[in-house]
């Protein structure tokens, strides 16, 4: 029998329904796989074996009786550790929440559970989802299954490594500036950041509230559509979620690329890009054309201002959101004997890592008296211009296609000394968040070092179906998504530590 952990969600679901194996057997296979690969990958901050097995048994009851069976009933899924899970430790990759156990489920976790999915664990991420490499996790980074001395991308690093390393059949991440799409690209899996408001943020630990969005990562486009269909929808507990019918995303998969109007923004093909990335993305565009898509060059003139704009708006929102970590009702408390103000300051100094402090400082500065107009208001106005660029382009386009990142996965430690260089990793993903659009990353090739390359497909607001349609048409005609990381790396048999290789 095939190793069960290698199955896609759609394959596993079909075989669960045929009773080829039970949800408990499938879950045990994934838990065993996770245990053997964790020393190498470090995808998980918490594995919940007991809860997972209990959920699997309930799923088996549903599968046996044939009632309430959804496309993900009995499927082992893992979720990023910024997503609250009742009774299971949720740290956001931070020391300050090291012992935090939520008393309720985030709406997305509740949706997974209601559909009968088996949550196997909580995934590693940059602290409070702030980072592009997973190296800002207070618990050490996850490693890229394709090459263990490479970063998995961030901030949802564990969400990508768990799927690429076959430790879970799918996962949830969050994306504020590229945090689903970049790790998906670096680890050779599919990742989708939905339209802002499509998926509830209730119970998701906030980083930048006007940008954050939860989305799925999976091995292929079909699985991604199944997960999106499970978590999307209006939630009265999130005042920014949108009351809009959730379409049948799986039905959108088979429309093909014929007649699809595709835009190729010239600002996303820039000097200094890794040549293999540009080659792979251009080849993917030709492939879409061969499948019947109409491709034309477009311009998104304000692209070059997106990073500057983002690092004002996101940090301003973060500085406000993270004010709640004060050592009073939950989380770490330090310096109690020195008075209230000292306790706040020491608690936060001890609880937050360097990047989180940096962003809180930057955001506090941008919002402070005398600087608000120059930074925050200015950035909000530039955000309008970035949105308009996209609105204009989408007037007669279905999707926009770009690279996900200018390079493939870089080495652990390569960019940690220079925050700005790290920020620039998100140069092709960040505008999408500022404009609130949906975007998907999928594998479109490999570089000379056998590292995956990602193709980004961007849609208009609530254009998820167009993304899935384009992505599935491309995927169906290529084999990139079938390649798997070397077992030696993912299997933990021969672990290469950072620094061991040159």
Structural contact between residues 43 and 142, judged by C-beta atoms closer than 8 angstroms: yes
142 contact partners, CB below 8 Å, separation of at least 6: 41, 42, 43, 123, 124, 134, 152, 157, 158, 160, 161
Report the relative pairing of strands 118-123 and 76-80 from DSSP bridges: parallel
Is there a catalytic annotation at residue 193?
no
Please choose, out of 36-44, 62-70, 324-332, 483-491, the segment that lies near another protein by the rule CB under 8 A: 324-332
Spatial contact of 482 and 443, defined as CB atoms under 8 Å apart: no
Residue with smaller CB distance to another protein, 20 or 304: 304
- Which positions from 69 through 128 interact with another protein, judged by CB under 8 A? 87, 99-101, 103-104
Query: Of residues 147, 155, 171, 441, which has the active-site annotation?
Result: 155
Q: What is the DSSP string of 142-211?
A: ---TT-TTB---SSSHHHHHHHHTTSSSEEEEE-SSSTTHHHHHHHT-EEEEPPTTTB--TTBPPS-TTT
Site size for another protein (CB under 8 A)? 83
Task: Among 251, 349, 449, 482, indicate the residue that binds another protein (CB under 8 A).
Answer: 349
Alpha-carbon distances of 134 from 161, 166, 197, 241, 495, rounded to whole Å: 11, 19, 25, 28, 19
Among 54, 270, 283, 295, binds another protein (CB under 8 A): 270
Of 54, 250, 295, 345, the one binding another protein (CB under 8 A) is 345
Q: Residue 181: what are its φ and ψ, rounded to 5°?
A: -70, -40
Q: Considering the rule CB under 8 A, would residue 428 count as an interface residue with another protein? A: no
Whole-angstrom CA distances from 207 to 139, 176, 337, 366 are 19, 8, 30, 16
Q: Which of 114, 340, 449, 493 binds another protein (CB under 8 A)?
A: 340
- 124 vs 332, beta carbon nearer another protein: 332
One of 61, 299, 384, 501 touching another protein (CB under 8 A): 384
Helix axes 107-114, 221-231, angle to 10 degrees: 110
43, 179, 241, 431: the active-site residue: 179
CB of 118 to another protein, least distance (A): 22
Does residue 328 touch another protein according to CB under 8 A? yes
Q: Judged by CB under 8 A, which of 14, 290, 361, 482 binds another protein?
A: 361
User: Does the protein bind another protein through residue 357 (CB under 8 A)?
Assistant: yes
Q: Which residues ranging from 390 to 409 are in contact with another protein (CB under 8 A)?
A: 406-407
Which of residues 243 and 479 has its CB atom nearest to another protein in the complex? 243
Map the footprint of another protein across residues 217-236, applying CB under 8 A. Answer: 236
The least CB distance from residue 103 to another protein, in Å, is 4
Minimal distance, residue 319 CB to another protein, in Å: 6
65 is catalytic: no
Please tell me whether residue 246 binds another protein under the rule CB under 8 A: no
What angle do the packed helices 9-17 and 23-41 form, to 10 degrees?
A: 150
Clarify whether 103 is annotated catalytic.
Answer: no
Q: Where are the alpha helices (DSSP H) in 18-171?
A: 23-41, 49-65, 107-114, 157-164
Given the residues 80, 113, 193, 415, select the one marked as catalytic: 80
Choose the binding region for another protein from 168-176, 186-194, 226-234, 330-338 (rule: CB under 8 A): 330-338
Q: Which of 37, 91, 319, 429 binds another protein (CB under 8 A)?
A: 319
Decide if 170 contacts 151 (C-beta within 8 A).
no
Cα gap 152→106, rounded to integer Å: 25
* 428 backbone dihedrals φ, ψ, rounded to 5°: -100, -5
Residues involved in catalysis: 80, 155, 179
């Amino acid at each position: 029998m095939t190793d069960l952990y290698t199955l896609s969600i759609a394959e596993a679901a079909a075989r669960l329904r045929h009773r080829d194996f039970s949800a408990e057997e499938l879950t045990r296979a994934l838990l065993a796989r996770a245990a053997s690969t964790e020393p190498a990958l470090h995808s998980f901050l918490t594995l919940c074996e007991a809860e997972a097995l209990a959920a699997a048994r309930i799923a088996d009851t549903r599968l046996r009786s044939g009632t309430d069976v959804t496309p993900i009933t009995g499927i082992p899924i893992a979720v990023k550790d910024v997503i609250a899970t009742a009774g299971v430790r949720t740290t956001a990759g931070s020391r300050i929440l090291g012992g935090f156990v939520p008393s309720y489920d985030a709406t997305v976790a509740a949706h997974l559970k209601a559909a009968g999915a088996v949550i196997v664990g909580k995934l590693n991420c940059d602290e409070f989802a702030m980072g592009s490499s997973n190296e800002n996790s207070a618990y050490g980074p996850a490693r890229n299954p394709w090459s263990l001395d490479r970063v998995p991308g961030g901030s949802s690093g564990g969400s990508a490594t768990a799927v690429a390393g076959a430790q879970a059949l799918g996962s949830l991440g969050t994306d504020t500036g590229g945090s689903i799409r970049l790790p998906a690209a670096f680890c050779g899996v599919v990742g989708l950041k939905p339209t802002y408001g499509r998926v509830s943020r209730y119970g998701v630990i906030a980083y930048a509230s006007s940008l954050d969005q939860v989305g799925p990562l999976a091995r292929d486009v079909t699985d991604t559509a199944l997960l999106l269909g499970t978590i999307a929808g209006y939630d009265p507990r999130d005042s920014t979620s949108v009351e809009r019918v959730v379409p049948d995303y799986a039905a959108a998969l088979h429309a093909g690329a014929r007649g699809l109007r595709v835009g190729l923004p010239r600002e996303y093909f820039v000097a200094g890009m890794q040549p293999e990335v540009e080659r792979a993305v251009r080849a993917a565009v030709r492939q879409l054309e061969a499948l019947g898509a109409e491709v034309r060059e477009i311009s998104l003139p304000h692209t070059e201002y997106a990073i500057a704009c983002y690092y004002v708006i996101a940090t301003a929102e973060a500085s406000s959101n993270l004010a709640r970590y004060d050592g009073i009702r939950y989380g770490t408390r330090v310096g109690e004997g020195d008075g209230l103000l000292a306790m706040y300051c020491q608690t936060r100094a001890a609880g937050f890592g360097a990047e989180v402090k940096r962003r809180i400082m930057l955001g506090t500065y941008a919002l402070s008296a005398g600087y608000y107009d120059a930074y925050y208001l200015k950035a909000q106005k530039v955000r309008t211009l970035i949105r308009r660029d996209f609105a204009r382009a989408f007037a007669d386009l279905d999707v926009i296609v770009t690279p996900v990142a200018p390079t493939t996965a870089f080495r652990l430690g390569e960019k940690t000394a220079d925050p700005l260089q790290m920020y620039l990793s998100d140069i092709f993903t960040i505008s999408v968040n500022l404009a609130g659009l949906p975007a998907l990353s999928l594998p479109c090739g490999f570089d000379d070092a056998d590292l995956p390359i990602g193709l980004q497909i961007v849609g208009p607001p609530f254009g998820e179906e167009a993304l899935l349609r384009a992505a599935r048409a491309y995927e169906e005609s290529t084999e990139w998504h079938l390649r798997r990381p070397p077992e030696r790396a993912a299997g933990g048999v021969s672990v290469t530590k950072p620094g061991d290789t040159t």
